Amino acid sequence: MTDAFIRRTGDRKWGRRLFGALGHGVCALCYFASLATSSPWMFVLAIALVAGSWNLVCDGLSFSLLSDNAWLNRWMPNAGQRAVFLLRAADWLALARPLATQPHVYLANTYLSLATNDRALDEKKRRELLRSALHEYQESLVGIPRQGGVWNSIGTLYLSEGKLLGLSTDAARRAALLAWRKGLAVDPESVALRTQIAELAYLLPGHVQKGLAFLRAGLHRPLFPDSRSALQMNIAMTQWRAHDAAGARQTLVRLLRENPTYTPAVGLLQSMLHPLPAQPKEP
């Protein structure tokens, strides 16, 4: 219902708040109705409606607290207190709505941010935070397994922090590739995942043509215009780095014929056709 409301009105804020409030109301009414009914079937129906309404409430709270939470700054101006409150709220929402995705992802991102940015933590604590982040990412996939973005985050975590997790470089790359391939399997239109897989699996080892073939395979997917242009841009950049200037120009020209307003391609093509003069060396 919330998604249909947002698609129809474009108002994400009220799309979450309205149905959250509705869920609260229906939940309360059905709870009291279940106490008053004498029929077991009506009791079961009322409890089922309570459960469904509870899910609406939790989803509304998740959006209000973990996504559209600018309003919280006025009520809790202290950033530290606000961070602690949001962590506790996400933890509670994860318990109250086990199959919800957003609280787990919020917790995972927070743990990952602490592990990578707070250098005051010792190695053991940072490793524990990274493992907690991985656990929360995995938990977020229980309710909705088809989340390419979560698999992307898992793969990136393995690749960037594999050493701290006790993995060798090869093991970290294999774990990252496995996660990214799982993400691409559930989201074949993801340009980011396809590009990362091509880079790590083919281009870094020197298999340029295989990498280009893998990237071009994505063009057969039903992509949105900007996503298709971004993929073509990545193909052109790969060709350019492989010293195939003619192929890169052809790819960019084809891109601009399909999407003339894609400005990154215009800039890259201009730099290819009119390279900057070399700076003279200082005597």
Domain annotation covers residue 45 = yes
Domain annotation covers residue 22 = yes
Residue 26: which domain range?
A: 1-76
- Domain edge (last residue) among 10, 43, 76: 76
Domain annotation covers residue 15 = yes
At residue 231, the pLDDT reads: 95
At residue 146, the pLDDT reads: 84
Domain annotation covers residue 281 = no
Domain annotation covers residue 239 = yes
What the block records as the tokens of 47 is: 């409890």
For each of the chain's 283 residues, which pLDDT tens digit applies?
Answer: 555 555 556 555 555 555 555 555 555 555 455 555 666 655 555 555 555 554 555 555 555 555 555 656 666 676 666 666 666 666 665 655 555 667 777 778 877 887 888 777 788 888 888 998 898 898 888 877 888 999 999 999 999 999 999 999 999 999 999 999 999 999 999 999 999 999 999 999 999 999 999 999 999 988 888 999 999 999 999 999 999 989 999 999 999 999 988 888 888 888 877 664 555 555 5
Q: Is 194 in contact with 232 (CB distance < 8 Å)? A: no
- Domain edge (last residue) among 45, 76, 107: 76
**63, 69, 132, 177 from 76: Cα distances, Å:** 18, 11, 27, 41
Within 8 A by CB and 6+ apart from 91, the residues are 103, 107
At residue 210, the pLDDT reads: 95
SS3 264: helix
Domain annotation covers residue 21 = yes
At residue 272, the pLDDT reads: 78
At residue 43, the pLDDT reads: 52
Q: How many angstroms separate the CA atoms of 155 and 159, rounded?
A: 6
**41, 130, 204, 208, 224 from 200: Cα distances, Å:** 57, 22, 6, 11, 25
Place of tokens 């279940």: 34
Domain annotation covers residue 12 = yes
The domain tally of the chain equals 2
Place of tokens 């003619």: 246
- Domain edge (last residue) among 32, 47, 76: 76
At residue 107, the pLDDT reads: 77
Domain annotation covers residue 190 = no
For position 265, which CATH number holds?
1.25.40.10
At residue 212, the pLDDT reads: 95
